[in-house]
């Protein structure tokens, strides 16, 4: 059936019920009318490229469940495409809502094509990573047309959202030079564009030719994820002049995108002390007119390499409880190496815990009911039901099987002194037998 709209936002503004809006409304237990209004305002995005045929769409934003993203992709030092595709399948099985292919080496087009053939999750990319290999040029020799050609290729392939670092213009870059940071710029895309501007003397092409970028996004119904090139890479750099000045630019770019019916997400920190997170979330939502906020972490301490899935989950829960809508997972391998499958699983679980904890705090419809069902199963000492309701059923099953109690309705920690069992008995008029 031929589309009579350009993007999900265009359809929502004109009162057209798209299949994607209908599906997301059902997933979120929300009326299509309410969801359509949120999409029309831009406070909810439904990333859904018209060429991604296997997609099961999800909504990101106000009033919806907090979603999580899984990063993967090949690099020069870790170019096993089969392993990365196994990560894709694992992420989908673990119900991650989004996957970002951050491949920056070799046959990136083939990698994207294979992901899009199998992925029901939305797919994101960062085209600037791909430009050097795609164009077979040195960074300083890449032109504005080269950058836009790669963006168009990703859109044609079916990518649902792309990170575009348009906020680091020459004025923002000067803020970085004038206010030296402990960790400088840690965004890969941001550092590449900063270097390109320094080497060429030109304005960031994604900022200077932003309208041309938006035209491509509108044509394919791609959601723009406005990258935070100046996100803090350590807690000491958080909420500094570069981060805040870039955020102001991102707010302006958000409203320009909406005028062209292009859906927007805004990316955020980074590393940040616990006590700064809530204020940052409020500032982002205010400056960017309520656009969905996509955060990497934030990691709340810098001293836990090997455990950064935990530092990220702490920050992610606080961020999402205070307004963030989309969490990019962090694995135990962060800052150390490309994550393997086990790292990825740990990162997904940590992020899903953070997202769900935040949904309870935000009062998202149905979030607390899941916990109440688990509590009922625990009171009834119904192990099978507990496993069924668990976020990761396999791990509790394995723990239970590894240490079998004498009595089935207890565990090996409390045994016959189990408070739950004994309260059930005494309130039922029975002797607890000890």
Radius of gyration of the chain (CA): 23
Give the integer Cα–Cα distance in Å for 217 and 7.
9
List phi, psi (to 5°) of 70: -115, 125
Q: Both tokens of residue 262?
A: 């292009």
Q: Is 165 known as a binding-site position?
A: yes
Q: Is 272 known as a binding-site position?
A: no
Q: Is 220 known as a binding-site position?
A: no
Q: Is 154 known as a binding-site position?
A: no
DSSP string for residues in 262-284: --EEEEE-SB--HHHHHHHHHHH
Q: Is 271 known as a binding-site position?
A: yes
Q: Is 231 known as a binding-site position?
A: yes
Q: Is 414 known as a binding-site position?
A: yes
Residue 215 in 3-state DSSP? helix
What burial class does residue 372 get, using C-beta atoms within 10 Å of its C-beta: 0-12 exposed, 13-18 middle, 19+ buried? exposed
Q: Is 152 known as a binding-site position?
A: no
Q: Is 328 known as a binding-site position?
A: no
Q: Could you count the other beta carbons within 10 Å of the beta carbon of residue 355?
A: 25
Residue 207 in 3-state DSSP? helix
Q: Is 135 known as a binding-site position?
A: no
Compute CA distances 32 → 23, 48, 217, 218, 352, whole Å.
Answer: 9, 17, 24, 22, 26
Residues 6+ away with beta carbon under 8 Å from 307: 332
Q: Is 267 known as a binding-site position?
A: yes
Q: Is 228 known as a binding-site position?
A: yes
Q: Is 71 known as a binding-site position?
A: yes
Compute CA distances 14 → 9, 11, 41, 217, 270, whole Å.
Answer: 9, 5, 12, 19, 37
Q: Is 129 known as a binding-site position?
A: yes
Task: Looking at 48-187, list the stretches that DSSP marks H as alpha helix, in order from N- to C-terminal side.
Answer: 81-93, 108-118, 127-135, 144-157, 170-178
Give the integer Cα–Cα distance in Å for 52 and 48.
7
Residue 265 in 3-state DSSP? strand
Give the integer Cα–Cα distance in Å for 63 and 41.
13
Name the binding residues for substrate: 71, 100, 129, 165, 187-189, 228-231, 267, 294
Name the binding residues for [4Fe-4S] cluster: 411, 414, 418
Name the binding residues for Zn(2+): 271, 335
Name the binding residues: 71, 100, 129, 165, 187-189, 228-231, 267, 271, 294, 335, 411, 414, 418
């Amino acid at each position: 059936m031929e589309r009579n709209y350009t993007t999900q936002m265009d359809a929502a503004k004109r009162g057209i019920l798209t299949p994607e809006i209908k599906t997301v409304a059902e997933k979120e237990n929300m009326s299509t009318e309410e969801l359509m209004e949120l999409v029309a305002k831009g406070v909810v995005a439904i990333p859904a490229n018209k060429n991604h045929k296997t997609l099961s769409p999800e909504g990101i934003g106000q009033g919806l469940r907090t979603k999580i993203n899984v990063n993967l992709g090949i690099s020069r030092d870790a170019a096993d495409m089969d392993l990365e595709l196994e990560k894709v399948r694992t992420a989908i099985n673990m119900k991650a809502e989004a996957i970002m292919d951050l491949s920056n080496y070799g046959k990136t087009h083939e990698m994207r094509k294979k992901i899009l053939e199998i992925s029901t999750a939305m797919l994101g990319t960062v085209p600037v990573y791909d430009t050097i290999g795609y164009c077979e040029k040195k960074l300083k020799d890449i032109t504005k047309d080269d950058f836009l050609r790669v963006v168009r290729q990703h859109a044609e392939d079916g990518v649902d959202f792309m990170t575009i670092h348009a906020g680091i213009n020459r004025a923002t870059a000067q803020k970085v030079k004038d206010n030296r940071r402990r960790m400088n710029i840690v965004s890969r895309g941001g550092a590449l564009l900063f270097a390109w501007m320094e080497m060429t003397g030109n304005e960031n092409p994604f900022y200077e030719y932003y309208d041309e970028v938006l035209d491509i996004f509108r044509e394919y119904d791609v959601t723009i994820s406005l990258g935070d090139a100046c996100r803090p890479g350590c807690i000491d750099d958080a909420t500094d002049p570069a981060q805040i000045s870039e955020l102001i630019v991102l707010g302006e770019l958000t409203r320009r995108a909406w005028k062209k019916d292009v859906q927007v997400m805004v990316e955020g920190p980074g590393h940040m002390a616990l006590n700064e997170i809530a204020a940052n979330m409020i500032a982002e939502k205010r400056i960017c007119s309520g656009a969905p906020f996509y955060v990497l972490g934030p990691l709340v301490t810098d001293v836990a390499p090997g455990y950064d899935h935990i530092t990220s989950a702490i920050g992610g829960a606080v961020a999402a409880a205070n307004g963030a809508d989309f969490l990019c997972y962090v694995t135990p391998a962060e800052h150390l190496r490309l994550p393997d499958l086990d790292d990825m699983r740990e990162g997904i679980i940590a992020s899903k815990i953070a997202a769900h904890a935040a949904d309870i705090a935000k009062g998202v419809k149905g979030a607390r009911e899941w916990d109440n069902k688990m509590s009922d199963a625990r009171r009834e000492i119904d192990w099978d039901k507990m496993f069924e309701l668990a976020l990761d059923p396999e791990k509790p099953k394995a723990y239970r099987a590894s240490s079998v109690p004498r009595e089935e309705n207890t565990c090996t920690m409390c045994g016959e002194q189990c408070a739950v069992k004994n309260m059930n008995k005494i309130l039922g008029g029975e002797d607890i037998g000890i």
